[in-house]
Structure 1
Amino acid sequence: MSPKASKVLFLIADGFGDWPLDELNGRTPIEAAETPHLDELARTGILGRCKTIPQGMAPGSDTANMSLLGFDPARYHTGRGPIEAAAQGLRFEPDDLIWRMNLVNLTSLADDGVMLDYSSGHITTPQAAPLIEMLQAELGDETFSFVPGVQYRHLLIQKGGANGPDARLFVNPPHDLTNKSIAADVEAFAASPELDRIVRRAAELLAGPENTTKARSIWPWGQGGPLLLPDFRETFGLRGAVISAVDLIKGLGLASGMEVLEVEGVTGLLDTNYQGKVDAALAFLEHGDFVFLHVEAPDECGHSGIAADKVEAMRRFDARIVGPLRESLAGQDIVWVAACDHYTPIVERTHTTDPVPFLLQFPGCTPSGPESFSEAQADSTGLMIEEGHALLPWILRQSGAAK
């Protein structure tokens, strides 16, 4: 393959940012992992940090990845649900309210209830699909409809809800509540009688003997009106594509006119199809200019709280994504970017607003000094991009890839 100059690769290891851990001898997971390819890019490139989460906004993958793609969440973000709906190519009325809806495992849907698992044991798509179909058949009506998604991630559409009080309800993201009380969220659901009825009836149906999965409730959250983003190519002059296992990234890509490269066997977990993602990126670069390759596994490992798994996630990211791409593109004029969207610290098991580390490497760049890629090494350079959506334009200017 012989791609032209100024091809840009954004390699995103979701949630890899972390804090030093005693069980890793005071290191973070990326510091404990073998990452020779990222370290070589760091030695020959520029390291810094970036604030991907705008002030006052929740530290989610929705806001963070929108920032990394060059769009200001404070201006364009309407909610998590609308982004994932965009991934399915769904069309809505302006006053529709679109909820992200997890299948979750709870002790009970009560004030003393506890969130046991935001993913229902990482329920598979074939296991989840009949449950969503059952809920639609039993509970779907002129106001509410259930739309199946991937694994534990689904949608609840509320017709006409965007202009009503339900649009202002705050329900915690379920991944923020692992082993925590759901009392505040039970109260939030109760503030909307119709939503409360749907959630409680769904829990009753999921408790039936025919459901052999760990899914025991639905969890609507991240609601908002339809998503509208500027066209990526018109904005940045680059023909772009996204590669990911999760609908969130696909939705951002589709909403901004980018190609969504589907790869068989991607899971969002440690066992995802790394080679398939690499192959898809290389094939697109034959005619395209920009690839946003996203790997979800580090984030899922952060939510699980298992440090060894997160170390392994970063080792695989380096060995199975960064390494093969570097080998295939050796000698080519490639702009390399590696980053996470947000931190998912092992001790917190959820997202935080820490500025994320990033590296930039391109032919002829002046190295910033660090010998490896990590949170501390990125911090040591003093380079800070204060607004996340400014990172991509800055990179394009620095590398000469701006069209």
Structure 2
Amino acid sequence: MKYVIIIPDGCADEPLESLGGKTPLQAANVPTMDAIATAGCVGVTDNTPIDFPAGSEVANMCLLGYDPNEFFTGRAPIEAAATGIQLGPHDCAIRCNLVTVEDQIMVDFTASHISTEDATALLEELNTKLLGGDHPAIAPDLAARLKFVPGVSYRNLLIYRGDTEHPSPFTPSTRTSAPHDLTDLSVTDDFPRGPGSDVLVALMNASAEIMAKHPINAARSAAGKKVATNVWLWGSGGAPGLPTFNERYGLQGVMITAVDLLRGLAAIAGWDRIEVEGATGYLDTNYAGKGAAAVEALEKYDIVCVHIEAPDEASHEGRADAKVEALGQIDEHIVAPLWNAVRDRDDARILILPDHPTFCRTKKHTHGPVPLVMAGHGVKADDAKAYDETTAVASGLTFDPGWTMMDRFLKGND
């Protein structure tokens, strides 16, 4: 069997007045997704257990069939795996956003989608001036165990290297807030709390002093761009211990994404990764390139998974029109070529679903079910003729908890 999984991140939404009472998925031109619904079945799955944050880290783990109660340790360790960073038993990874905070309001959790080049330069400055050993905000012995690691754009990491005598000060009880859930809101009550929070808050505050004087921010301000005011630290955790997908299901997969979180999940699950030129993790991503790479990968892999961040980014910006446009691009350039490649085969199956809902109204991830559609060999068709939230709920097919859905997809429902 060949399996295709397409993840339009955060595409599930609520009816919006600006779209005439439709959700973005209902308003978008997605004829191929609707054709797949007609050929197969639709339903809902809940990938965001109420005891966990409604984030992509938990939701995508659930989507791929892993119970977060058993395997989730934090977001940052997953992203660390994407860059090949090995975490020891006393180490910790912390997600590090470059953000724009003005008057204690989270104006932009991406610092205006700061370039990787600018982000890298700012983090190198922090490594030198903040963690170099003589900054008053942090003790030299602790600073020596910490390092900022550049990633892509605003998505970066802070790594703590510990040992038996110096275990990580950050524990599962360390509470942090995802900056993308604070857009346009006050951050006053959302600084880290609990074990190790004094270290994180000190680093965040000290970063603001150093970055305010950096030439890159001066240049950004002169160019009319938002400056990166400081780092925002969150999502800490130690190394996860997931069994590989091959160990669980006897299948070898590949991930196509522009986001380190999904790259990291793929690495931990033992999947290969395909990097597509022009894939940005944003609205301007190379949709056609991703679709073409996925079709080609079908010849080599049992499972081909394509993740597209664009709908989620549009929601975080509150842009329903951009979300509708992104869904149309996904349908035309990714879903259509993959459906054409598998629909007439008697050994192939396709699945489309987002990880979690992201509402344009609130600009946040949220808990709750998301619509799914699956079709292909071994999938019995239902009466659905469209792929959207309303049709999926009405179908009566529900996976709760969400990590049970993958077994059903791989086995079929005939």
What range is the shorter-chain TM-score in? over 0.9
Alignment-derived partner of residue 223 in structure 1: 236
Pair 1:247–1:90, CA change in 2 (3 A): same
Which of the residues 184, 194, 198 maps onto 2:203? 198
Which of the residues 88, 107, 118 maps onto 1:116? 107
Are 2:94 and 1:99 aligned? yes
Alignment-derived partner of residue 411 in structure 2: 397
Alignment-derived partner of residue 178 in structure 1: 183
Q: After TM superposition, list the pairs within 5 Å mapping 1:163-174 onto structure 2.
A: 163-164=168-169, 167-174=172-179
Helix, strand or coil: the match of 2:382?
coil
1:209 and 1:222 mapped to 2: Cα distance? 26
Query: What residue identity is the alignment partner of 2:38?
Result: R
Alignment-derived partner of residue 382 in structure 1: 396
Are 2:216 and 1:211 aligned? yes
Helix, strand or coil: the match of 2:290?
helix
Aligned-residue offset at 1:320: 1.0
Pair 1:398–1:162, CA change in 2 (3 A): farther
Query: What residue identity is the alignment partner of 1:134?
Result: E
Alignment-derived partner of residue 19 in structure 1: 14
Query: What residue identity is the alignment partner of 1:342?
Result: H
Are 2:355 and 1:353 aligned? no
1:189 and 1:174 mapped to 2: Cα distance? 18
1:98 and 1:74 mapped to 2: Cα distance? 19
Are 2:318 and 1:305 aligned? yes
1:133 and 1:289 mapped to 2: Cα distance? 41
Alignment-derived partner of residue 62 in structure 1: 57
Alignment-derived partner of residue 153 in structure 2: 151
Aligned-residue offset at 1:66: 0.6
Pair 1:364–1:388, CA change in 2 (3 A): closer
Pair 1:190–1:30, CA change in 2 (3 A): same
Are 2:79 and 1:88 aligned? no
Query: What residue identity is the alignment partner of 1:170?
Result: R
Query: TM-score if structure 1 supplies the norm length?
Result: 0.93
Q: After TM superposition, list the pairs within 5 Å mapping 1:254-403 onto structure 2.
A: 254-333=267-346, 334-363=348-377, 365-398=379-412
Which of the residues 10, 20, 27 maps onto 2:5? 10
2:352/2:372 contact within 8 Å kept: yes
2:332 and 2:108 mapped to 1: Cα distance? 30
Aligned-residue offset at 1:330: 5.0
Query: What residue identity is the alignment partner of 1:93?
Result: G
Are 2:134 and 1:136 aligned? no
2:55 and 2:407 mapped to 1: Cα distance? 22
Pair 1:165–1:264, CA change in 2 (3 A): closer
Alignment-derived partner of residue 28 in structure 2: 33
Aligned-residue offset at 1:105: 0.2
Alignment-derived partner of residue 138 in structure 2: none
Query: What residue identity is the alignment partner of 2:95?
Result: R
Aligned-residue offset at 1:55: 3.2
Pair 1:187–1:246, CA change in 2 (3 A): closer
Pair 1:138–1:259, CA change in 2 (3 A): same
Aligned-residue offset at 1:363: 3.1
1:54/1:74 contact within 8 Å kept: no
**Which consecutive residues of structure 2, in runs of 5 or more, have no partner in the other structure?**
132-142, 221-226
Alignment-derived partner of residue 3 in structure 1: none
1:49/1:384 contact within 8 Å kept: yes
Aligned-residue offset at 1:309: 0.6
Aligned-residue offset at 1:190: 11
Alignment-derived partner of residue 52 in structure 1: 47
CA RMSD of aligned residues (A): 1.8
Helix, strand or coil: the match of 1:10?
strand
Aligned-residue offset at 1:329: 4.0
Helix, strand or coil: the match of 2:65?
coil
2:45 and 2:157 mapped to 1: Cα distance? 31
1:8/1:335 contact within 8 Å kept: yes
**Which consecutive residues of structure 1, in runs of 5 or more, have no partner in the other structure?**
1-5
1:151 and 1:187 mapped to 2: Cα distance? 23
Query: What residue identity is the alignment partner of 1:8?
Result: Y
2:278 and 2:188 mapped to 1: Cα distance? 38
Helix, strand or coil: the match of 1:380?
helix
Question: Equivalent pairs: percent with the same residue?
Answer: 39
1:190/1:196 contact within 8 Å kept: no
Aligned-residue offset at 1:9: 0.3
Aligned-residue offset at 1:166: 5.5
* 1:291-332 deviation line (CA, Å, top 9, x unaligned): 111000000001100110111111111011111222344522
Pair 1:27–1:96, CA change in 2 (3 A): same
Query: What residue identity is the alignment partner of 2:317?
Result: S
More deviation, 261-270/274-283: 274-283
1:189/1:196 contact within 8 Å kept: no
More deviation, 218-227/364-373: 364-373
More deviation, 46-55/24-33: 46-55
Query: TM-score if structure 2 supplies the norm length?
Result: 0.90
More deviation, 321-330/15-24: 321-330
2:323 and 2:237 mapped to 1: Cα distance? 32
1:181 and 1:165 mapped to 2: Cα distance? 24
2:381 and 2:288 mapped to 1: Cα distance? 29
More deviation, 255-264/137-146: 137-146
